[in-house]
Amino acid sequence: MKLTIAIIAQNGRLQYEAVLFVETARYFCGDKVDIYILIPRRGENWSNEPDNINPQILDYFVKSGCHIVPFKNEIWGQSYPEGNKICCLRELPAGRPFIFFDSDQIITADVSELKFDFSHPLVSPGGHMFPVQGQDQKFSTEEYWRAVYEVCSETPRKANAREDIKDSFPYYNAGCFGFEDPAQFHEKWMHFACLVDRSQHEIVLDQPKRPWLDQITLPVVCSHFGGADENALHGVFNNGTHSYHYHYPAKLCLTDQYWELKKQGLFESLKYILEKHQPFQRIFYTETDQLVLNFWRWANRNLMYKNGSGLRPTHILGRAGLGER
């Protein structure tokens, strides 16, 4: 049975990001994985038309052997598009193991060669903790997480998901996750997300739920299914051996994979589509990519750890006007 890979495409940048994802997936995996392109339907909760996809892109998906599947986000719609990743799971084949990726990733190796135990949710530790440090907090982090689990009627599972925070409550990166049954995962995640979103619990109300609702409730879902394999995807996806989560097109230029794919002509073959998205056009089809790399090397030598304070790539590129998405 082929592994099911799922991503979201919709009107705007995500449709172009999805094309780049599919092209890299087919480049490394061929037809050894099933790719599902999940598209939110327009409706009363959307002021735009998320399913108004460029016809050339739809044609590309078809020719690339993708399954194009519409879904409804009737709960949040445009007010919380991050909720799409929760809603879309019900449209995947029930009972088949899946891995969901945020669309702004590229595949960098053959995913089909990997062997996972899908009986437990597959996740990787989140890059930040929640509540976000620096925000006003009336309650401790432990009190907040206990309240979230209480609202969901679930028992909290403490774990060392973060090496720098002992005995912390687990917090995962929702940019990539997997499980043995998307239908079950969707049902529980939707249930818990709605409970937390509507909760009037004093402690839960103390922190904003946007845009973190999916990441707040993901650990609760994993706990419900017996706890996650917290390091299954760590070092493999997001920024690992088999995928790279670039967030901003300029960050792609900082990777060896980008230059190898460019050498192989991958970006040139997609020019008729990707040049229509200005941030991609700027990076891929001018000499900006080399300028970005040169600037990054200079920044790495002169700015990154000056006076002992590190700056993340997104900060450096953003300050240089290269943070377009």
pLDDT digits (tens, 9 = 90+) for 268-309: 999 999 999 999 999 999 988 998 888 888 877 776 555 445
- What is the model's pTM? 0.92
Q: Higher-confidence residue: 138 or 72?
A: 72
* Edge-to-edge order in the sheet of strand 67-71: 67-71, 33-40, 3-8, 98-101, 176-179
Q: Which residue has the tokens 């001018």?
A: 286
Question: What digits encode the pLDDT tens for the residues 69-109?
Answer: 999 998 999 999 999 999 999 999 999 999 999 999 999 99
Domain range annotation of the chain: 3-126+170-224, 249-319
- 284 and 249 in contact (C-beta within 8 Å)? yes
Residues 6 or more apart whose CB falls under 8 angstroms from that of 163 comprise: none
pLDDT score of 161: 45
Q: Which amino acid is at 172?
A: Y
Q: Which CATH class is domain 3-126+170-224?
A: alpha beta
C-alpha separations of 91 from 183, 206, 228, 319 in Å? 8, 34, 23, 40
